[in-house]
Amino acid sequence: MCRRGVALLVFLISLTFGTQACAKDFKPPAGFNGHSWGEAVTASHGLTLWWANTVLDSNGKVVEFYFCGFGEPGCNPGGYYQRVEGDGSFAAGEYYFDHDSNPWANQQVELRTISYLYCARWGGDYMPTPIKQHLKLCGAHVTFRSDTEEQLTRRPVENLSNFDRILNQLIVEYGEPPGFERQPRITIESGRDSLATPPRPRPRHLRYRWCGVENRQLRPNCSATVTLALDTMTGEGTVLVAAPLLYDYANAVQFASDRDDNLYMLLNSAPLDRRRVYNKIQCTGRRICQGWHEPLSVKQLQGFKP
């Protein structure tokens, strides 16, 4: 292949992972960083409230509808059947611990923030007091920074970015997520020279999810999902671990708002670069009101504080 030495043709994989598992082998996490789903906010010490929000009296979403004959089981007097999911009232608060640990420090992963989401769901158009007595752990929110696409072009191709290390670790723990593709790289070495194929450009937004909602589902079929997202232009990244109750809250906020909700966007397949702003449907005699949420009063906010 060349005049000097022996040329070596090596097929390398851009990332080297540990033990792999198929998507069907995904075992949902029972919590995050030593905290279990359903853990009461009042049972946790050293928490500080970051933000809180409520959605009251949401009518949910019609997930099944058909016309039926009078007298059939479940048939309404109007001659139709409908099944609604996600109705009720919801609250969520995001908290952080005064002292916390990085669960992936041994993998040289650098994190910016770790916070925990506590949720509540109840019937009625009021907020029970104190609301903190009803809040249970429903999610964990991790933020990090990684190399931007421009920065990666100036680094060796074998360099592992912070995002790569996080993805590596999540694959070790949960297996390869749906839609994940390995990127093979060919390296030709001859003497002191080395030539490698450049990596493929990445899209503006990367998102991998272990489990999740399918079709028109509002809740996942598993007890928890894991979402990894990265904005390759800014280097801002997120890991969101979510129990079904967090999906309930995010859906209610999305249905009641005139803007796309950040949690909803992360938990669902909506394009992260195509946020919608639309006119909220007004309540009339023929249209169902879809709940409401508004800024909490000082007294209401006090009820979230641990």
* 267 within a domain of the structure (yes/no): yes
Specify the 3-state DSSP secondary structure of 38: coil
* 2 within a domain of the structure (yes/no): no
* 203 within a domain of the structure (yes/no): yes
Domain limits for position 130: 8-302
pLDDT per position as a tens digit, 22-45: 445 789 999 999 999 999 999 989
Q: pLDDT band at 51, cuts 50/70/90?
A: very high
pLDDT per position as a tens digit, 66-84: 888 777 877 877 778 877 7
Asked if pLDDT for residue 276 goes beyond 60, the answer is: no
DSSP 204-239: SEEEEEES---TT-SS-SSS-EEEEEEETTTTEEEE
Give the gyration radius of the chain's Cα atoms: 24
* 229 within a domain of the structure (yes/no): yes
Q: What pLDDT is attached to residue 52?
A: 93
Q: pLDDT band at 15, cuts 50/70/90?
A: very low
Closest CA to 131 of 300, 296, 253, 297: 300
- Pick the more confident residue, 261 or 210: 210
Alpha-carbon span 218 to 234, nearest angstrom:
30
pTM to 2 decimal places:
0.78
Closest CA to 10 of 195, 213, 202, 262: 195
Residue 134 CB partners (closer than 8 Å, separation 6+):
91, 120, 122, 128
Q: Find out whether 182 and 13 touch, Cβ atoms under 8 Å.
A: yes
pLDDT per position as a tens digit, 96-106: 999 999 999 99
Q: pLDDT band at 182, cuts 50/70/90?
A: low
pLDDT per position as a tens digit, 221-268: 999 999 999 999 999 999 999 999 999 999 999 888 777 788 998 998
> Side-chain half-sphere of 37: how many Cα atoms within 13 Å?
16
Q: Find out whether 182 and 269 touch, Cβ atoms under 8 Å.
A: no
Q: Which amino acid is at 158?
A: E
* 1 within a domain of the structure (yes/no): no
Q: Find out whether 271 and 205 touch, Cβ atoms under 8 Å.
A: yes
* 199 within a domain of the structure (yes/no): yes
Looking at the 3D structure of the chain, how many domains does it have?
1
Alpha-carbon span 198 to 217, nearest angstrom:
40
* 3 within a domain of the structure (yes/no): no
Q: Find out whether 134 and 91 touch, Cβ atoms under 8 Å.
A: yes
Specify the 3-state DSSP secondary structure of 274: coil
Give the residues across from 90 on adjacent strands: 55, 121
Alpha-carbon span 246 to 14, nearest angstrom:
34
pLDDT per position as a tens digit, 121-165: 998 888 888 999 999 999 999 999 998 888 877 777 667 899 999
* 201 within a domain of the structure (yes/no): yes
Specify the 3-state DSSP secondary structure of 41: helix
